[in-house]
Structure 1
Amino acid sequence: MELDQDLAALEPLGGFFVLRTGGAPRGPMTALARAYGNRTSDAGVNPITFRVEKVARTLNAPEPRIAASVAQQGLAARLWSVALGSAALYDAVPDLDPALLHWDPDAAAPDDLWLSEVRARPAHAASVADVVLLGHLEPLAAALRARHRIAPGLLRGNAASALAGAARQLDRWAVAHGRGEAAAHGRALTAELLAHPLLSATGTLTGTAFRRRSCCLYYHVPGGGVCGDCCFLRPPRSSARDASG
């Protein structure tokens, strides 16, 4: 199935799956290629640093690395959702080239994305990994680690957790709407992606449930607690026990 230029099939899946395309961006946005290169925006601000600082203020995060982790996982969830949803519903994924995909670091969650040109890529695991994992999440992790003390294993755990979360949401929608083929495609693709060498050590997938081997540090946020797929069953008593990778 070919991609339609407005990716309309993704709209019923919800905000994390929707991708704005064509026309002109709504407000100031930055090409993600520019952000990953740690370049400043036209306003003279580094977009990734701006996003991390915004998340830190919103969450009252006690350390910048916690906000960096949460910010990275939020963007990862958006990217995986677009790719998985497209693969399941179109049997193709949009080319999310960071030079074509624009981002508003000042937007509320879910991250606001705009794709300037819709070009189809294959929907198999190698292609999706190339589009999302290698094209975005690895350079995003490098940009974050250049500015924050945050472990590679933690960021890859976040990437895997975001993938599993997107897959569960897609699966719930597909089952509820009688789209068994989309559900099956999503589950199979997720399992293949989590077997990728960069993600295979991050956790265990059982059905649609994922248990990661690291912690995103969200429990440090006031009132945060641990996430449903965390390696911890309850918040550790000491930060010395952080599972940071």
Structure 2
Amino acid sequence: MLPLPGADRPLLRGPRGARRDRRLTAPDPVGLARSLDALQGFFGWQVSTDGLVPLGRALAEPLLPARFDAVREALANVGRASDGASGDAPGADPVVDPRVAVSAVQVGLVSRLWSVGLASALLHGWVPDLSTSLLHVSAGHRSPVPLASADPLAGRSVSGPVETVGALRDLILAGSVHDVDRACARLGRTSARVMVSNTASALVNSGRMLVRRRPDLEAQVDAVVRGLLADRRLAGGGSFPDGGSQFRRRGCCLYYRLPGHGLCPDCVLVGPGRPADEHH
């Protein structure tokens, strides 16, 4: 496997390591933000925390329930627009299961965390510290959802898949991802199985989006994604059966409950008589 950018940088011990050393190894914050923003989609990253709130505050009342409500209304609006486009006669207002909105909020936040972490690691040999104590997000539902750190120089230099998996596990999975999952399960009254399956699926799809933009990183992305899925905290979320390329969840995201939305391709419910939605 080709060495990752930044292979000559010393491995830092995370946010509690020597600040003097990490300032010599961290990429320029402005350059990092520009390179991630150029990937578009969920890879957006900004240097300043202006206009954002600490993640811990966004995951508590009243902000998180308000985000659930906003996403639920947005999903209902999609259902109304779909009815209008199909020419169907107006009927009852679309009813969106609250748990679907919770699932969508969690997927949106976790996908952004994985996307920023994977892209930064594989493009710069650097995993930013996305722990809840440092991470800032928008206070409410908006698209895209920008992310920023209170200390853009906090992170860990990495080289190769083993170090990359370790840093993503320590600085993202064990921190902000865990906290997002726990808050959504608690305040959104949604099962932990849905949360962990969403988190695993979001990781796989974030990797696929990065490969779509940077096909030269396919081997590295695959190694890191599979390494993370082997972690006990994600192992219950899904796997690649028989070592193949098709990921299969062990829990459902519940999106099939939305009007006009079928089963996702990686859904655990897909089987004989229950095909995946070809347009998903």
Normalised to the residue count of structure 1, the TM-score between the two structures is 0.82
Q: Deviations over 1:162-204 (max 9, x none)?
A: 00000011112221xxxx3x33222111110011101112222
The CA distance in 2 between the partners of 1:14 and 1:207, in whole Å, is 28
**1:127 corresponds to 2:172:** no
Structure with greater helix percent: 2
1:176-187 paired onto structure 2 within 5 Å: 180=216, 182-187=217-222
Indicate if the aligned counterparts of 2:71 and 2:141 stay in contact, CA closer than 8 A: no
SS across alignment from 1:162? helix
SS across alignment from 2:236? coil
SS across alignment from 1:146? helix
1:199 to 225, 231, 234: 234
Choose 100-109 or 126-135, whichever is displaced more.
100-109
Match of 2:27 in 1: 3
The CA distance in 2 between the partners of 1:34 and 1:76, in whole Å, is 16
**1:30 corresponds to 2:53:** yes
Change (3 A) 1:196 1:34: same
Instruction: Report which of the two structures shows the higher radius of gyration computed on alpha carbons.
Output: 2
Q: CA deviation at 1:128?
A: 0.4
- Number of corresponding residues: 222
Normalised to the residue count of structure 2, the TM-score between the two structures is 0.73
> Post-superposition, which runs of at least 4 consecutive aligned residues in structure 1 deviate over 4 A?
none
Q: Which amino acid aligns with 2:259?
A: P
Match of 1:83 in 2: 117
Q: CA deviation at 1:19?
A: 0.5
1:86-165 paired onto structure 2 within 5 Å: 86-118=120-152, 119-123=154-158, 124-165=164-205
Q: Deviations over 1:193-216 (max 9, x none)?
A: 011101112222255531112110
Match of 1:170 in 2: 210
Provide the identity percentage.
35
Indicate if the aligned counterparts of 2:109 and 2:180 stay in contact, CA closer than 8 A: no
2:251 to 194, 197, 214: 214
Structure 2: gaps (5+ residues): 1-5, 7-25, 77-94, 159-163, 275-280
Q: Which amino acid aligns with 2:67?
A: R
Q: CA deviation at 1:153?
A: 1.2
**1:55 corresponds to 2:71:** yes
The CA distance in 2 between the partners of 1:218 and 1:140, in whole Å, is 19
RMSD: 2.2
SS across alignment from 1:209? coil
Match of 1:18 in 2: 44
The CA distance in 2 between the partners of 1:156 and 1:169, in whole Å, is 20
The CA distance in 2 between the partners of 1:204 and 1:56, in whole Å, is 29
SS across alignment from 1:21? coil
Structure 1: gaps (5+ residues): 41-45, 238-245
